[in-house]
Structure 1
Amino acid sequence: MDSIKYILRRFIGSSILISLLFIILNILGLFAFSYVTFVSKYSGDLDASESKEIRATLMMLEDKVILKDGKFTLDDSSKEVLHSNKVWAMLIDNNGDRVWGFDLPKEIPSHYTLTDVAKFSRFFLKDYPVYVWEHPSGTLVTGYPKDKYTKFNLTYTIDEISQFPMLIIGMLLFNAIITFLLASFIGLKMVKSIKPIITGIKLMSKGEPVVLQEKGILSDISKSINTVSKELQMKNERLRKKEEARTNWIAGISHDIRTPLSMIIGYSGELEESSSLSQREQEQASIICNQGIKIRELVNDLNLVSKLEYNMQPLDCNKIRVSVFLRELVSEFINNNLDNDFYIELDILNEDITINADKKLLKRAISNLIQNSITHNQQGCNIKVISKSDLDFCYIIVEDDGKGMSQEKINYLLKAQNGLSEAYAKGQNHGLGLLIVAGIINAHDGKLDITSIDCQGIKTILKLPLIK
């Protein structure tokens, strides 16, 4: 939903900015057009298509029409400019008589009343667009061809002029509202098309099937998502069947091995205690029994790894007081004929820590860590088990001062936490005990961290959620 809101906000924002820019450009264009129109209408100036030469001639025409020897005359260069542009001109004295003319059409009168002058000064004279200029001897009139210009008379009252700012503000508000409504409509239409696609992508990321309607402007995208979803479902189904077959195979092999293995361990145990055998034969029977037990443990570990990886190991979670749990576990190690070269220390920093966990699996995880310290440090070492907590998590730490572990192997173990059976299948089972620990902690929504400084001992931290 957040992505939809973001797209909608961006679309509406862009539309509003574009519309505002469009309105501003139109206002600027209106003012520019009005300026050119009013200057041309009221000052008698000409549009930009006129040549610079005729502009200069008309602007100075009142000075070039002069009285000489009792007659008004115009210099030849100015006449050439007017003639080449088909502009005619005349001078009317204060009595209304035409006292001078140049290239006048035949229908142009020679005498004008005050009313006649008032009419053509703002409009046309015999359908010729004319412009009026002030002259010391009267009124100077310039005329243009009938198809050259048209003229309008714009008149406004004072009330209308005073309302003009409010009219502009109203127009701007109206345009803004229309723009917003239009942008919202377009945005909602776009969101309506995009929303199913976003929902489909989210479902597809969760592995769920997606079927979108393939219509509208985004039909190609919908079709592609449907195709990808179908292919993913097929691949997931094949993968599920494959993993299910592998899990069943491991479970079946484990079950088939247990029966003959139990017989081997049982009979070898009887031979070990049989008085009819020599001491050497009893020792050999003891070796067979111990190796059979190791094989049984490996089979159990492999089966547990497979169940943990695919979340098939049901958790029997109960409230556990960590201090009591750790004392029991450490006591079992100490009382189980622990070699004198190993010393286990328990440090409880908070007696009241409680967690919700599967006691059997958690005991297996911590036992594996302690046993690893014993197994991989045959020369002996000091082992320390610590429990502490913060506001949200319980931390169980198992550390020793033995030979430690290389950073390369630590990195491998941390990366292999989510691929336990795969790591074991590749023959990398030297750290299987730690991999099982990782699987158990992951099943409890916890986190495993392993450190070793310069291969001087190893420190493993189990981070588990507290009961609040």
Structure 2
Amino acid sequence: MAAAKRFFRKYLFSSFLILISFLLINAALLLAVLLFSWHSSTDPDIPVAQIADHIHTNQQGTVSADEKTSELLKENAAWGMVLNDEGTVVWEEAMPSNLPRQYSATEVAQFSRWYLDNYPVLVQETASGLLVIGCPPNSIVKYNFVTDTAYVRSALTGLLTVVVCNVTLMLLLFWYNTRKVEKAVTPILNGIETISRGKAVALAEKGELAAINAEVNRAGNYILKKDQARTEWIAGISHDIRTPLSIMLGYAGEIEDDDALPTETRTQATLIRQKGEKLRQLITDLNLTSKLEYAMQPFHLETIYPVELARQVITEYLNNGVDQNYSFELQADEKAHAIFFQGDAALLTRLLDNLIGNAMNHNPNGCHILVSVTKQENACCLSVIDDGVGMSQAQIDTLNDGIFPKQFNTQDSEGAHGLGLRLSSQIVQAHHGEIIFEPQSPNGLAVSVLIPVSANN
């Protein structure tokens, strides 16, 4: 459920980002259009103030202009004139002949605001009189807007209100659609999560996603039945094999201990017993790994002291008469003796037993096995290190990737089964830990298990 909520929070957040991006992109496009229109404009950019600076009146009252004025007017295909206070033209440059040379105050007011005989004009007051610059027809569009301040303020406020309302409405629509999708999809996500835990799922097969719900239900039931059938098959086979296997091991043991029988027969009985015990171990591992995979193995939590646990496992090996080609060593400093954590003692014992057994299986000619217990920040590190033949880097990389092959090549003809390492990894995961495989120099293999411990530890 938490994962589904996180997903839809991200979905809603991304929707908001999309909306903001949409608004920003539109604002950028609008600005780009305005800039493009401004750059592509053919309207004349006549420097009226600059022209006015080049117009002068001498002592006799005659108005004149220098050559710069003519150049500026020609560059813009414009004409110019200067009117005195009576409206008479006292200076002109390229002025059309059809235009009058005398204007009343009313006419001056009219063309200053609008046009002079279809010529858009620009005006500026100078010391010589009123400067009038005429532009080519249709080169400039002149509009005159007159309104009061209250109207402008109300219009801007209304425009801002419309934008805010639209943005708010879009956000509400995003939120509504997200909630609608979340309501429809959350049961499906929860159903998938339930299936991943190996539990039954029953989604309501109605609504817009009824077909998908039905498919999830069918998939969940199929997986559950398949897993249940496999678990029952493993349990049944294990039960059926256990009884005849026990009888076989019992008779093999009797033959092995009977001094009256030939040595060859007793040797064969020993081989039968050893292989039978190996087969029984594989069946036990198969049962346990199946239970751990589907969370069927009950956890019996208790306080674990890893140094004592390692000592007990090593002692068990020594008491069972291990081959003299194998030597054991327990290494733990003072800090290691103070480490403790909550765990399942039986499973952790099995973990160490598997790792030590793996070292022995890969080194049939013998090796030195070091079991180390150390403290690493907020974790207990249990390491099983041997100086045997080790593994190839490719095999080590495969194990660290969480892939456990069915069989590893060893020096004997049989090879070592990978089920024990898979089971070890499952036990570590059940304790929320991490297992790491590393090569030893010059040879050998180190398997380190990191299990979280209390910060006060």
**Shorter-chain TM-score: which interval?**
0.5 to 0.7
Larger radius of gyration: 1
What CA deviation, in whole Å up to 9, does each residue of 1:254-300 have, x standing for no partner?
Answer: 11111222222233334445576555544444443333332222211
Residue in structure 1 matching 2:223, options 225, 233, 239: 239
Structure 1 counterpart of 2:129: none
What CA deviation, in whole Å up to 9, does each residue of 1:34-59 have, x standing for no partner?
Answer: x99xxxxxxxxxxxxxxx99x97985
Provide closer, same or farther for how the CA distance between residues 247 and 122 of structure 1 changes in structure 2, counting only shifts above 3 A.
Answer: same
Residue in structure 2 matching 1:464, options 435, 451, 454: 451
Contact 2:11 2:178 in 1 (8 A): no
Contact 2:387 2:440 in 1 (8 A): no
Structure 2 counterpart of 1:250: 234
Residue in structure 2 matching 1:331, options 297, 315, 334: 315
Structure 2 counterpart of 1:439: 426
**Whole-angstrom CA distance in 2 between matches of 1:293 and 1:384:** 25
Q: Could you say what secondary structure the match of 2:417 adopts?
A: coil
**Whole-angstrom CA distance in 2 between matches of 1:232 and 1:458:** 44
Provide closer, same or farther for how the CA distance between residues 281 and 334 of structure 1 changes in structure 2, counting only shifts above 3 A.
Answer: closer
**Whole-angstrom CA distance in 1 between matches of 2:181 and 2:424:** 41
User: Which stretches in structure 2 are left out of the alignment for 5+ residues?
Assistant: 1-8, 38-42, 45-72, 84-94, 124-141, 194-202, 408-413
**Whole-angstrom CA distance in 2 between matches of 1:250 and 1:58:** 105
Residue in structure 1 matching 2:300, options 303, 316, 322: 316
Contact 2:385 2:446 in 1 (8 A): yes
What amino acid does structure 2 have at the position aligned with 1:353?
I
Shift of 1:320: 0.8
Shift of 1:152: 9.5
Aligned length in residues: 371
What CA deviation, in whole Å up to 9, does each residue of 1:205-237 have, x standing for no partner?
Answer: 5515598964xxxxxxxx6xx655654543343
Shift of 1:362: 0.6
Residue in structure 2 matching 1:387, options 361, 373, 383: 373
Q: CA RMSD in A?
A: 4.9
Provide closer, same or farther for how the CA distance between residues 339 and 319 of structure 1 changes in structure 2, counting only shifts above 3 A.
Answer: same
Provide closer, same or farther for how the CA distance between residues 22 and 172 of structure 1 changes in structure 2, counting only shifts above 3 A.
Answer: farther
TM-score of the pair, normalised by structure 1: 0.63
Shift of 1:403: 1.1
Residue in structure 1 matching 2:181, options 197, 201, 205: 197
Structure 2 counterpart of 1:400: 386
Shift of 1:241: 1.9
Provide closer, same or farther for how the CA distance between residues 212 and 410 of structure 1 changes in structure 2, counting only shifts above 3 A.
Answer: farther
TM-score of the pair, normalised by structure 2: 0.65
**Whole-angstrom CA distance in 2 between matches of 1:153 and 1:451:** 85
What amino acid does structure 1 have at the position aligned with 2:354?
N
Equivalent residues in 2 for 1:17-416, closer than 5 Å? 18=26, 59=80, 82=98, 175-197=159-181, 204=188, 207=192, 214=208, 230-273=214-257, 277-278=261-262, 280-349=264-333, 350-416=336-402
Structure 2 counterpart of 1:7: 15
Shift of 1:396: 0.4
Provide closer, same or farther for how the CA distance between residues 58 and 414 of structure 1 changes in structure 2, counting only shifts above 3 A.
Answer: closer
Identity of aligned residues (%): 29
User: Which stretches in structure 1 are left out of the alignment for 5+ residues?
Assistant: 30-34, 37-51, 63-76, 83-88, 95-116, 135-150, 215-222
**Whole-angstrom CA distance in 1 between matches of 2:295 and 2:388:** 34
Shift of 1:189: 0.5
